[in-house]
Structure 1
Amino acid sequence: MSIHEVYPYLRARDAAAAVAFYKAAFGAVEKFRLTEPGGRIGHVELLFGGTTIMLSDPFPELGIAALDPDGPSCFVIHLHVDDADAMIAAAVAAGARLVRAPQDHFYGERSGTIRDPFGYDWLIGHAIEEVEPEEMQRRYAAMLSGD
């Protein structure tokens, strides 16, 4: 038995608005959607670069809930891009809230975090240097020890 692919599957209180946001903020491309006669989105697939992210509206009758946009975050989605500053600015212009401004990090990446209007946190970064794991660990330990 083997795993062929992994797809994050998000739920948003307004999946149609989330699709519009992801297109405007990140340049996501809609592959297709399945919509109920009443308008709820049961399934939509979006391409983020070469990666598919799936999305739907909540279906409380099936136990499928969406995040509270103002509630705590339990995970983050990392987008590795060409220009983190530009992507973060585009996301904020599209309606995201800046959580952490972009900055250079010890592990060789410039990144920052936004929260989208649907409660998902996105860590957006780009490489600024190649750092071997041993050097990364040394820098991490030094940072934590105050050196």
Structure 2
Amino acid sequence: MAIHELFPYLRVHDAAAAIAFYCALFGVKEKFRLTEPSGRIGHAEIDFGHGATLMLSDAYPEYGMDSAQAIGASPVAMHLHVDNADALIDRAIAAGATLVMAPQDHFYGERSGSFDDPFGHRWSIGHNIEDVTPEEMQRRYTAMMAT
């Protein structure tokens, strides 16, 4: 059996607003959506380019599929590599996201920070600042944990 793709799938409160937020913030395009007569979005896909697709829908609590807002948090974070993490995080905050961690340089060779979007999902945004081998990362991580 071959694996061809992995799609993150978010359940959100107000999928239409989430689609608009993500498309505007990340400069990505909606591929399509399936909408019930009531207006609830059963499935939508957003094209992030380079073969990356984010799937999302409104929550379906009657089937045990709640949104992050409904349960108060999400144990999952999305990590997105961009050209300039600082600029995108600034845009996210201006668009209504909540800053979790300001961008900073990290031992693993990335500058990154994070925010929670208005729909309860955490996004880590980073860009590469240094190529670091796994061995060097482990050495730096061990040294950091020792302090």
Give TM-score scaled by structure 2 length. 0.94
Deviation at residue 71 of structure 1 after TM alignment = 2.2
C-alpha separation between the residues in 2 aligned to 1:49 and 1:115? 22
Give 1:81's aligned residue.
82
Give 2:54's aligned residue.
53
Runs of 5+ unmatched residues, structure 2 = none
Give 1:29's aligned residue.
29
Give 2:120's aligned residue.
119
What do the CA deviations read for 1:4-48 (whole angstroms, capped 9, x no partner)? 111111011100010011012211210011111111111110012
Give 2:136's aligned residue.
135
C-alpha separation between the residues in 2 aligned to 1:125 and 1:59? 32
- Give the 4+ runs in structure 1 shifted more than 3 A: none
Distance 1:90 1:70, change over 3 A: farther
Give TM-score scaled by structure 1 length. 0.94
Other structure's SS at 2:118 match:
coil
Runs of 5+ unmatched residues, structure 1 = none
Percent same amino acid among aligned pairs? 64
Give 2:16's aligned residue.
16
Give 1:93's aligned residue.
94
Aligned AA (1:82): D
